[in-house]
Amino acid sequence: MEKPTRLALLKEIAEFLNEETELQSMLDGALDSLIKGSDFTTGWIFFIDEEGHHTLESQHSLPSALTNRQCHYMKEGTCWCVQAYHNHKLTKASNIINCSRINLASREFVTETEDITHHATVPLRSGNEQFGLLNVATPFTTHYSDEDLELLESVAFQIGSAIKRIDLNNQEKEAARINERNRLARDLHDSVNQMLFSLKLTAHAAGQMTQEETSKRAFMQI
């Protein structure tokens, strides 16, 4: 199947991202479009928090060496790209000369790497805010071209913008839910106050009407 042009691929991904409102389906779909529409054969996305801890958020067509044992080598330990990202030394699409994750996995699963030895990486960002890394790889490739890195940079910018938009939408939804809960609580409080006031009026009237002293005292205590 013929691959789309770079411009057509970016347009396809942009249109997809504009329609997505859920984070996970957005990440999975964007990564799927990138891998299927380019010469890259596998890819994965890390989110990285302020302490430098990473999580594997999405992956596409990883070789078995990297998916074995519940993606052990992708989820455990650290690596140069995560450390460089955390230390603000990774600021653009780059070639990773020596990936410790791939190296460790290939030692344990020698025949299951699908000839993936090196990958390219780029930060996911929106403005000054960073979210993690987009990584891609191709078999028998130790160096990715400037064109490959430019494509990766463009897609990462699109994904980063979509992450920010979805995050803002989720914040707005949460704020709306909190406001609604507060409104319901106020309404309930007002309703209870009205019921208590009505009960007191009824008790006072009943106390005035009854002649039995015990009942009168009981009504007066309400």
Q: Would 157 be classed as within a structural domain?
A: yes
Q: Would 1 be classed as within a structural domain?
A: no
Q: What is the DSSP string of 4-59?
A: PPHHHHHHHHHHHHHH---HHHHHHHHHHHHHHTSS--EEEEEEE-TTS-EEEEEE
Residues 96, 197: one domain? Answer: no
pLDDT at 168 over 90: yes
Name the domain boundary from 166, 191, 213. Answer: 166
Residues 116, 36: one domain? Answer: yes
Dist. CA 72–CA 87, nearest whole Å: 24
Residues 80, 121: one domain? Answer: yes
Q: Would 144 be classed as within a structural domain?
A: yes
Q: Would 108 be classed as within a structural domain?
A: yes
Count up the domains in the chain and report the number: 2
pLDDT tens readout for residues 25-43: 999 999 999 999 999 999 9
Average pLDDT over the chain reads 89
- pLDDT mean over 6-13: 96
For residue 85, give its domain range. Answer: 6-166
Residues 185, 153: one domain? Answer: no
pLDDT at 135 over 60: yes
- pLDDT mean over 151-158: 98
| Residue given tokens 């020596």 in the structure block | 98
Residues 125, 193: one domain? Answer: no
Dist. CA 41–CA 63, nearest whole Å: 10
Q: Which two tokens stand for residue 143?
A: 């160096």
Q: Would 86 be classed as within a structural domain?
A: yes
Residues 102, 142: one domain? Answer: yes
Dist. CA 148–CA 137, nearest whole Å: 10
Q: Tell how many helices (H) and how many strands (E) occur in the chain.
A: 7, 5
Residues 42, 124: one domain? Answer: yes
Q: What percent of the chain has pLDDT over 70?
A: 86
Residues 52, 123: one domain? Answer: yes
Residues 159, 99: one domain? Answer: yes
- pLDDT mean over 164-169: 95
- One-letter amino acid identity for 195? M
pLDDT tens readout for residues 182-208: 777 786 776 777 776 676 766 566 556
Residues 161, 186: one domain? Answer: no
- pLDDT mean over 110-125: 96
Q: Would 192 be classed as within a structural domain?
A: yes
Residues 99, 181: one domain? Answer: no
Enter the pTM of the model. Answer: 0.80
- pLDDT mean over 65-85: 95
- One-letter amino acid identity for 95? N
- Other CB atoms closer than 10 Å to residue 47's CB: what's the count? 18
Whether residue 166 contacts residue 47, with contact meaning beta carbons closer than 8 Å, is answered with no
pLDDT confidence of residue 175: 76
pLDDT confidence of residue 212: 67
CA 86 vs CA 76, 80, 211: distances in Å: 16, 10, 82
Helix extents (H) in 54-145: 64-75, 80-86, 100-108
Residues 54, 31: one domain? Answer: yes
Q: Would 77 be classed as within a structural domain?
A: yes
